Amino acid sequence: MRKENSTNTLNKQNLEKECGMSYALTTIGGRWKPAILWRLCKGKMRYSELRDAIPNVTERMLVLQLREMEKDGLIKRIVYAEVPPRVEYEMTVKGNSLRPILKSLSDWGDENRL
Amino acid sequence: MRKENSTNTLNKQNLEKECGMSYALTTIGGRWKPAILWRLCKGKMRYSELRDAIPNVTERMLVLQLREMEKDGLIKRIVYAEVPPRVEYEMTVKGNSLRPILKSLSDWGDENRL
DNA sequence: TTAGGTACTATCAAAAATGTAAGTAATGCG
DNA sequence: CGCATTACTTACATTTTTGATAGTACCTAA
């Protein structure tokens, strides 16, 4: 989906290399990531529970955002060999290290939006 | 630039309404915003200083991101009635209240990216 | 009168993110 | 066999973000 050598991609990469803040913001900054992280902070959840808990997400978007966060090591995907399938999502240690930051972002947002 | 009634826009608005974290992330989450905020945290700067300090920004992008942050009340634009023109950008009180959060995002990023 | 400096705008194009709708695989149960 | 359940995929369309390039307004000083 990403072109390897577009200026767009190169700019993104350079910024993330130079600047921890940029890196942090892209790992948690997708449209549905806050909604997912918020819920997983309270405990592990199944795919269908997440889907039903988050209004208006499409399955495609949910999966995309879960995959990205898994790749970035924020969450862990646990598959049970059952039929019908069961898959649970859970925060990793790295993901949990974000908790205080997520909390302070959330508090700041609640205080500052209109 | 934004369509008023696209599903995309409505989803964004709903999430920001429900979730302070989403609101916070969109106010600081543009491509060049971290780079700008980082520098303005150290003191006010002229437009041309910002432009020269941030590698690879185009003027168009720089202005767009500055305008958005001004609208969101994070930074303040100070125009001097001189020729040639002089314009300075500076953090507001609201912007400064983000400092500890920006710092912790930055630290987290520095520790966690590869 | 013309060139120079500053802070922009405007137009167009490319790329990326998000949304829509339908389909798939595996297996136990009736 | 045919259906139900769960967790996805796939193909495509739309919307949004980002980038490339050129041009503008203002006054001053030469």
Q: For residue range B38-85, what is the model confidence (pLDDT) as tens digits?
A: 999 999 999 999 999 999 999 999 999 999 999 999 999 999 999 899
Q: What is the pLDDT of residue A47?
A: 98
Provide the mean pLDDT of chain A. Answer: 96
Task: Extract the tokens encoding B59.
Answer: 């003027």
Closest C-alpha among B37, B40, B32, B35 to residue B60: B32
Q: What is the pLDDT of residue A12?
A: 97
B110: closest chain A residue by CA: A20
B5 touches chain A (CB under 8 A): no
Residue A83: CB less than 7 A from any atom in strand C? yes
Name residue A94's amino acid.
K
**Which chain B residues are closer than 8 Å to A21 by Cβ?**
34, 37-38, 102, 105-106, 109
**Which chain B residues are closer than 8 Å to A104 by Cβ?**
100-101, 104
Specify the domain boundaries for CATH 1.10.10.10 within chain A. 31-112
Query: In percent, how much of chain B has pLDDT > 90?
Result: 92
Could you tell me the distance in Å between the CA of residue B6 and the C1' of nucleotide D15? 8
pLDDT exceeds 70 at position A1: no
User: How far is it, in rounded angstroms, from Cα A94 to Cα B113?
Assistant: 11
pLDDT in tens, A36-84: 999 999 999 999 999 999 999 999 999 999 999 999 999 999 999 998 9
Task: Extract the tokens encoding B99.
Answer: 């400092």
Closest C-alpha among B30, B46, B24 to residue B104: B24
Bridge partners, residue B46, by sequence: B88
Look at phi and psi of residue A82 and say left if phi exceeds 0, alpha if psi is from -120 to 50, else beta.
beta
Task: Spell out the alpha helix ranges (H) of A1-114.
Answer: 7-18, 20-28, 33-40, 47-53, 59-71, 93-96, 99-112
Shortest CA to C1' contact from A58: nucleotide: C19
pLDDT exceeds 90 at position B114: no
Torsion of CA B18, B24, B28, B29, to 10 degrees: -40
Q: What is the pLDDT of residue A21?
A: 97
Disruptive mutation site among B27, B113, B114 for chain A (greatest number of A CBs within 10 Å): B113
Query: In percent, how much of chain B has pLDDT > 70?
Result: 100
- Per-residue DSSP letter, A74: S
Bridge partners, residue B75, by sequence: B91
pLDDT band, residue A3 (cuts 50/70/90): confident
CATH topology for A31-112 is: Arc Repressor Mutant, subunit A (1.10.10)
- Distance from the B100 Cα atom to the nearest Cα atom in chain A, whole angstroms: 9
pLDDT band, residue B8 (cuts 50/70/90): very high
A13: closest chain B residue by CA: B31
Residue B34: CB less than 7 A from any atom in strand D? no
